[in-house]
Amino acid sequence: MNQLTLAHITHEAVEKIGGIGSVLEGFITSPIYQQHVQRTILVGPANMHVAGDPRGRLGPDGEILYSTVDGIDEVGHGVKLRPIEYAFDVAITYGIRNFEIPGDTRRGTAEVLLLDVFRTNPDRLAMFKLRLWETFGIDSSRYEHEWGYEEYVRLAEPAFYSLVALLDEDELPCVMFSHEFMGMPAALKAELDGANEFRTIFHGHECATARHLVENHPGHDLTFYNAVREARTHGRYVEDVFGDLSFHFRHQLISRAHVCDGVIAVGDHTAEEIHFLGRQFDHHHIDLVYNGVPAMKVAFEDQRHSRTMLQDYCERLVNWRPDVLLTHVTRPVISKGIWRDLAVCHHLNEQFAADGTRGVLIILTSAGGVRRPHAIQAMEAEYDWPRHHHVGYPDLVGPEIDFNHMIEAFNANHDRLQVILVNQFGWSPELIGNQLPADMDIADLRRATDVEFGMATYEPFGISPLEPLGAGAVCVISAVCGCAGFVDHVTNGQPVDNVVVADYTALDHHLGEQEILDLSQSHRDDVESRVAAEIAHTLMSRIPRTDDARRKLITSGQQLVGRMGWDQVIDQELIPMLHRVIRDEQPAPLAVPA
């Protein structure tokens, strides 16, 4: 079968920022992906009107082949791309980006197509917005003040024509991925004018509508997922339950994903959330393509060395040596449920006191980007960062301030388990400070931990909570995490010692729709307190205390991740779906939910 040509519309075309970047990295460095895909083109916006070093436009491992603003045209692409720049008043950079997995031998290469749409042809843009309204019912005038909407609508047409210009006839049709809402305007353009050249896929790394509702209701996941279950039994959809959402441009874009040739969800709940968007999805097949889990090879000796280094670091911070190491590597957003970590730790502290154990939880997150090494060294010397913090950059900013308030209150009232907020990206002495062992890196942090927390209120998949799985960590995830479904899938529903699932959505009796919507924070607090005690009790029997126990968890963790890697996901889920879409075949229609 002919190899595939794929174009990925994303905000992470040049650098890995979050989950989408991790997915692209997992795809592009997989030998299975490389076997089936002949060309990968990453398409995204860029700010080339801002002066900068051209060598950095495509990232540290990029090579520019064409760039108008830099006067570069290595292989004559200007003949194809310059007319598009003139027509749409955009600037284009095109080149190559190399990928590699840190600590692994995997490598990959992708083409990168960047468009600066800060200025654009207003007449062409107005005509495209008119077509979006006439064909898809999207009123762009409501969202023009939202750059997140405007930027990707401006990107759509010049990106479409640039791809057509760069592709040869024998490379068509090209499969265009809309990664989240960002690629939907381009996908809609392809649906309008590119039936022969393109097939379109909406890749749901989340359901933006669901995230908005979970994060903004005081009942969070307790309310939302129970409301979905109740509504679906009565044939009701999201706006029937939660009211008009037309103000939310992301909702407006992803609600049109049913016009794409395929829809991917990264988790079971995400698929359910997309079906909940409206009856237009009732008969639309949604393919489950889980994210791959890093399958790092870990020997017991390496794990023990990493663990010793992390114990050394913690001892320097808290002045005693912890027996149990806990971590949470995450983004600083409300949906990550960091307060749930502290609730579990409260109960662990009581049980640690009973058996003489001590522990440290390290929360690694940053709302202020990467702090410069000299700033880290100054804070470390002045007030013993990260054991202590001050409000204001280069220290606490944004949500870090509230996190630290919670952590300070916890530490003041618990003596067997202390929490350290490390508000920084990366894990090395240069980035974390001189108290960190000299040769320690992020891989050591992942290998060292006994427990990794990930009890999110909204988590479409959750690669990070399972990253230490192969190193023998006990990974604690919430039942709404997409990765919980993946674990259940590969284990055939059998429990495993390496994974603990916390269900914060379980109600002790049936509630009607309005009763569910009326659930308050106090109701959620009651559920969370009960679940936290259950999780702490389970962890006390799972946390390894001996070398033999750690060896067993490493072995079972390695067996698990061996079935959850990118190669397996791509081979078993992604590639068959892509060939079906290329052939323009549809799976059997779905039955309308009762």
pLDDT given at position 50: 61
Is residue 199 within a helix (H) or strand (E), and if so which, with residue range? strand 198-204
Q: Is 377 exposed, middle or buried (0-12, 13-18, 19+ CB in 10 A)?
A: middle
**DSSP state letter for 285:** -
Is residue 338 scored above 60 in pLDDT?
yes
What gap in Å lies between CA 218 and CA 456, rounded to an integer?
14
Q: Token pair of 479, please?
A: 């039942």
Residue 592's pLDDT band (cuts 50, 70, 90):
very low
β-bridge pairing 174-179 and 91-100: unpaired
DSSP state for residue 363 in the 8-state scheme: E
Count of other CB atoms within 10 angstroms of residue 127: 12
Here the tokens at position 424 are: 């920084």
Common-topology check for domains 4-292+569-582 and 300-555: yes
The answer to whether the bond into 294 is cis (omega within 30° of 0) is no
What would the pLDDT profile of 4-25 be if each residue is shown by its tens digit?
A: 999 999 999 888 877 898 899 9
pLDDT digits (tens, 9 = 90+) for 394-432: 999 999 999 999 999 999 999 999 999 999 989 999 999
Residues 6+ apart with CB under 8 A from 74: 64, 65, 66
Tokens standing for 365? 């997150």
Long-range contacts of 192-198 (CB under 8 A, 24+ apart): 192/131, 192/135, 193/160, 194/160, 194/164, 196/172, 197/163, 197/164, 197/167, 197/172, 197/173, 198/163, 198/172, 198/173, 198/174
Mean pLDDT confidence for 224-237: 97
Note whether 428 and 440 are within 8 A (CB).
yes
- Give percent above pLDDT 90 in the chain: 88
At residue 382, does pLDDT exceed 60?
yes
- The third-level CATH classification (topology) of the domain covering 300-555 is Rossmann fold (3.40.50)
Q: Report the alpha-carbon distance of residue 507 to residue 363 in Å, rounded.
A: 29
In 3D, which of 116, 274, 84, 268 has the Cα closest to residue 181? 274
Give the three-class secondary structure for 295. coil
Tens-place pLDDT, residues 158-174 = 999 999 999 999 999 99
Predicted confidence at residue 253, as pLDDT, reads: 98
Indicate the domain borders of the chain. 4-292+569-582, 300-555
Say yes or no to pLDDT of 591 above 50. no
Report whether pLDDT(57) > 90. no
Q: Using an 8 Å Cβ cutoff, are 46 and 115 in contact?
A: yes
State the pLDDT confidence band at 102, using cuts at 50, 70 and 90. Answer: low
Other CB atoms within a 10 A radius of the CB of residue 85 amount to 17
> pLDDT per residue over 234-288, tens digit each?
999 999 999 999 999 999 999 999 999 999 999 999 999 999 999 999 988 999 9
Q: Of the candidates 240, 276, 241, 239, which has an alpha carbon nearest to the alpha carbon of residue 257?
A: 276
Cβ atoms within 10 Å, residue 30: 24
Sheet containing strand 4-9, edge to edge, reads 72-73, 62-67, 91-100, 107-116, 37-45, 4-9, 174-179, 198-204, 262-265, 287-288
Nearest to 198 by CA among 166, 244, 242, 225: 166
Helix (H, G, I), strand (E, B) or coil at 353: helix
| pLDDT band (50, 70, 90) for residue 542 | very high
Distance CA 248, CA 251 (A): 5
463 vs 17, more confident: 463
The lowest-confidence range among 134-138, 279-283, 388-392 is: 279-283
Per CATH, the number for 4-292+569-582 is 3.40.50.2000
Quickly state the pLDDT bin for 295 (edges 50, 70, 90). Answer: confident
Q: Which residues, 6 or more positions from 443, have their beta carbon under 8 angstroms from its beta carbon?
A: 102, 103, 296, 306
Q: Distance between CA atoms of 288 and 267, rounded to whole angstroms? A: 6
CA distance 234 to 238: 12
- Least trusted range by pLDDT, from 98-107, 479-488, 514-523: 98-107
Residue 253 in tokens: 């874009």
pLDDT score of 590 = 42
Closest by CA position to 362, among listed 424, 300, 293: 424
pTM: 0.92
